[in-house]
Amino acid sequence: MLKRKDFWARTPFVVAFWLGLQASTAWANAVPLSDLETWAQSAAPAVRVALAEKDLAAHRAEAAKASQGGRLFGGASLGNAREAVTDTTSRSYQRAQMQLGVRWPLLGSREAQLRNVSEAEQATTARQVRLQQTQNEAVQAVRRAYVRHLRSGQRIALVEAFMAGRSTTQGLLQRRTQAGWMLEAERLGLMATFDAAEATLRAQRAAQEATLRELSRLTGRMVQAVQAAPLTWPDVCHHPETLRAQADEHPTVLLARLELEAADQIAGHLRKEGIAAGVSVAQGISKDLGGPPGHNTTVGIDISIPLDWRGQRDATLGQIQSERHRAESLLELRRGEFLEGLEQALGQWHLSQAEAAAPMKQLSAATETLRVAMLRHERLDDGDGYARLLTARYALMQVALQVVDAQERREVAELALAAWSSSGCSHPGVNPQDKLTAALAPTLLALSPQVANAPPDTATTAPQRTLRSTEGTSDSSLGWYVWDGQAMLQRPEQLRTLPPESRRVLLSFTAKQLTGLEQPAGRRQLSQFITHAQHRGLTVELLLGEPLWVLPSHRQNLLDQLARIRDLPFHALQLDLERSQLPEADQPQWGDLVVETLRATHAVAPWPLGLTTHYRELESPDFAQKVHAAGATELTAMVYVSNPARVVEIVKGLLPLQSLQSPDGLRWSIAQSVERTLSPQESSYPAGKATALQRWKELAQALSPEPGFGGIVVQSWEEFKEARP
């Protein structure tokens, strides 16, 4: 099927994309959530204030520690003295004296110093906890803005898909009104849906710009694009008992507990409150003017107590008891607030989960309504078919927006719930595989302009109750093998050059390039690319191809390879395994070997699993069932025949297709060739691009009624580009 070089030099890996959503042009410079959180923890305005307050408290604690213990004192004086010498004589003189000493506090004075130190240290610890609380709040704000940015982008993509056909639809409605097949009021009503959608689009763009401004404010950097992808949380973040057990670790409860501990410490320093005492040692010198100098050394003890010492003692004991009672009450209050807030967050999260189910059902109903409207419009135009089609299309967009709204509410509720956890929920994962994006991909296709626009011949002609041809009504899709996958990874704008029918792109990497994707820089580039692809409605699959992997002696090589790359954010895994590429001696056992390989792969691979092989393998009556039982969800049959009618004849002759009737059966697709090295009977390369596309369209239309049909995959994009128009 696929071109292969030596396996050790080139191992093909393929990425598949489903087109649909619009993406930011600045995706390559988009900032991941981890960087936003790191920046916010130091640069958010509230965090900067908390950091300054913590530093201030630390300096105050240092000052309190430096102020305790002994204190140096000194003084100087000059005085006039008159003193009696005898009963009848006295002398007058002037004396200058200086004194220098050290005083150590005792009793209440010493306890007052220790109390000041304890209070300062407690304030420092409290500021540290408040800083942590502020950082957590800043991170929560970043995550909320991140989620709003992601979902606003999806709303924008939905509305833009609806708005894309506005000008064409406006012209068709105008011609119908002029021809008398539509009332002016009806035309105005239909065009009003575009006005309402335009208002929604402006609001969502403003909301997305607001999230970028908010992220810039919180991070202190200019954020122009974000690598927006859904957050994933460990199960511990949803377990009520685990969350309740973390009450004492929550910052608000921790602050109250610190106050209680501080009250106990300070209580020991209040028992001697009011008893001021100290011991001092001083050295002094003196000199009488006109006389000899002198000196003195003194040791002194001083003490002072209030006259109403009993009243002071009773008041102090009451203060101690009241401080502790207040701290205990505050701790009980904070624990109660924590538990009540947690219960509310749990209830809101469960409610948001339940609410998310209804819009999804409504989306299925709206999609079916649009499908029926399309069929009626295509096959039986009774005059109102086009109006009903446009109305159904607008209703589908509205329901899709409600689905995104419900998902955003669920994610915001999950964020609020995770905020109550003090451990285990501080670093959520980011999963590029957005299930909602995949679920909305068919909606984006249904909202495409081709759906809204009636064929030109029905715009101004009278309505007729006649069956039209079903040509062009199938939901065909094309996929492309791209061998230079690294170039596509570095230049995603190539996707815009694909034919409009394209919905899958398969990228191949060399073994060296894949090793590079496992490194941090390569992983980051791949994640950015997948995020960009998802915003365009693309899913990303990985395809590996090596025929020897089916042999037990080589199978472990595949499993080891998968173990190394299992955390790369692909959406699915496709194995390309063909019987004809095995040694002849091993070919008879290929059927059982490939099933065993699929089963072993399914056990270790985290992605949905598919198999690509030659269509003759499906001639075995139980092959498809065995492949499905082994864990595969998709089967791609290589039918390298350029004649669409012959391909349909081959495919409809495959009995295993009857096993795909169940909703959970295998999804299947057909591989076609545009390789220049094959004959015109096998490849559409000699026929040119336009003819090839027409052939594949006819083939998809013919096979679309078959259950499980997923479209056409073409080998290869490089050679298709080189084909003549």
Residue 446 has pLDDT above 80, yes or no: no
> Per-residue pLDDT for 460 more than 50?
no
**pLDDT at 158 exceeding the cut of 70:** yes
Q: Are strands 478-482 and 709-715 parallel, antiparallel or unpaired?
A: parallel
For the ranges 190-199, 326-335, 486-495, which has the lowest average pLDDT? 486-495
pLDDT in tens, 287-325: 877 778 888 898 989 888 888 878 877 887 888 888 888
Please state, rounded to an integer, the average pLDDT across all residues of the chain: 81
**pLDDT (0 to 100) of residue 510:** 78
Which pLDDT band holds residue 52 (cuts at 50, 70, 90)?
Answer: very high
Q: State whether the Cα torsion 421-423-427-428 is positive or negative.
A: negative
What's the confidence (pLDDT) of residue 457? 39
Most confident of 2-6, 567-571, 613-617, 620-624: 613-617
Burial class of residue 120, CB neighbours in 10 A (0-12, 13-18, 19+):
buried
CA distance 221 to 40: 10
For the entire predicted model, the pTM comes to 0.58
Q: What pLDDT digit, counting tens, does each position of 367-413 carry?
A: 888 888 877 766 555 457 778 888 898 999 999 999 999 999 999 99
Q: Which of 7-21, 211-225, 509-523, 558-572 has the highest mean pLDDT?
A: 211-225
Number of Cβ within 10 Å of residue 549's Cβ equals 23
Specify the higher pLDDT residue, 21 or 493. Answer: 493
Q: What is the mean pLDDT of residues 607-613?
A: 87
User: What's the token pair of residue 33?
Assistant: 């959530």
Q: Give the mean model confidence (pLDDT) for residues 663-668.
A: 70
Least confident of 373-377, 439-443, 594-598: 373-377
Instruction: For 31-64, give one letter per residue: b (16+ CB within 10 A) or e.
Output: bbbeebbebbbeebebbeebbebbeebbebbeeb
The 10s digit of each residue's pLDDT in 671-707 is: 999 999 999 999 999 999 999 999 999 999 999 888 7
Q: With pLDDT > 70 as the criterion, what percentage of the chain qualifies?
A: 88
Q: What is residue 10's predicted lDDT score, i.e. its pLDDT?
A: 33
Mean per-residue pLDDT, 439-461: 57
- The residues pairing with 278 across neighbouring beta strands, listed in sequence order, are 105, 302
Q: What is the pLDDT of residue 14?
A: 28
For residue 17, name the pLDDT band (cuts at 50, 70, 90).
very low
| Cβ-based neighbour number of residue 303 at 10 Å | 13
d(CA 43, CA 62): 26
Q: Categorize the per-residue pLDDT at 582 as very low, low, confident or very high, splitting at 50, 70 and 90.
A: very high
Predicted local confidence at residue 449, as pLDDT = 55
Pairing between β-strand 90-106 and β-strand 71-84 as defined by DSSP bridges? antiparallel
Residue 397: partners with Cβ closer than 8 Å, 6 or more residues away: 158, 159, 161, 162, 197, 447
CB count within 10 Å of CB 151 equals: 26
- The reported pLDDT for the residue numbered 571 is 76
Residue 569 near residue 431 (C-beta atoms within 8 A): yes
Question: Residue 12 above 70 pLDDT?
Answer: no
Mean pLDDT value of segment 240-269: 84
Sign of CA dihedral 715, 717, 723, 725: positive
The answer on pLDDT for 156 being more than 80 is yes
CB 143, CB 137: distance < 8 Å: no
The DSSP secondary structure of 473-506, one letter per residue, reads: -S---EEEEES-HHHHHH-GGGGGGS-TTEEEEE
Between 125-134, 136-145, 567-576, 595-604, the lowest mean confidence (pLDDT) is in 567-576
Residue carrying structure tokens 């075995």? 620
| DSSP bridge partners of 92 | 82
More confident residue, 685 or 636: 685
- For 521-535, 540-554, 561-575, 592-606, which range has the lowest pLDDT when averaged over its residues? 521-535
Residue 660 — pLDDT band, cuts 50, 70, 90?
A: low
Separation of alpha carbons 722 and 719, rounded Å: 5
DSSP string, 74-97: EEEEEEEEEEESSSS-EEEEEEEE
User: How would you classify residue 716: left for phi > 0, otherwise alpha for psi between -120 and 50, otherwise beta?
Assistant: beta
Residue 106 pairs in a beta bridge with: 277
Indicate whether 473 pLDDT > 50.
no
Whether the per-residue pLDDT at 555 is higher than 50: the answer is yes
Per-residue pLDDT, 219: 92
